[in-house]
Chain A
Amino acid sequence: GESVGLHLPTLSVQEGDNSIINCAYSNSASDYFIWYKQESGKGPQFIIDIRSNMDKRQGQRVTVLLNKTVKHLSLQIAATQPGDSAVYFCAEEGMDSSYKLIFGSGTRLLVRP
């Protein structure tokens, strides 16, 4: 996805609920996708990744879904906790190099107690 605008989309969820963060990507030839979490004042932290030969991958409380038909990626967080509050970025392999990770614009997740 391309970065757009100055305002981050925000998702507000109740503690304990499930969260779904969506991302549209642009490179139909991309083989690799990844989700990062970034807390204020810190660098991005790896959450989960998926390759194009899969459509679903699960980690601890997180699931990534890949829909190549519509170029859509989603991150599901089960039983959202206050510590999950952060900005979440999806990233895809760049068009001209497998060393490039191109980040989407990000979504801020706010968890209400």
Chain B
Amino acid sequence: NAGVMQNPRHLVRRRGQEARLRCSPMKGHSHVYWYRQLPEEGLKFMVYLQKENIIDESGMPKERFSAEFPKEGPSILRIQQVVRGDSAAYFCASSAGQGLSNQPQHFGDGTRLSIL
């Protein structure tokens, strides 16, 4: 089991471009979470998804950010018209279904987004 896979590991974009970050959960996991870590800070929750559904997006900025977890394929975090303040490490985590109580979240290596 390769664990949670995120790609790319590093992504450089110019202001105004779009950034797409991908996350494949661990095998058998149907819950995906995205977190953002700004320099010198802890991880901040952004969004929680299950297949084809957004369950909680209370941590997502209201504009330019979107997330999806389609029936087939990885979860995508999309940032449109990037600005310098979007530079951060973006981590994805996954867990097994909620039918099993207290399942821990397993994290990927993260994507380091740099905006020029």
A and B are interacting partners: no
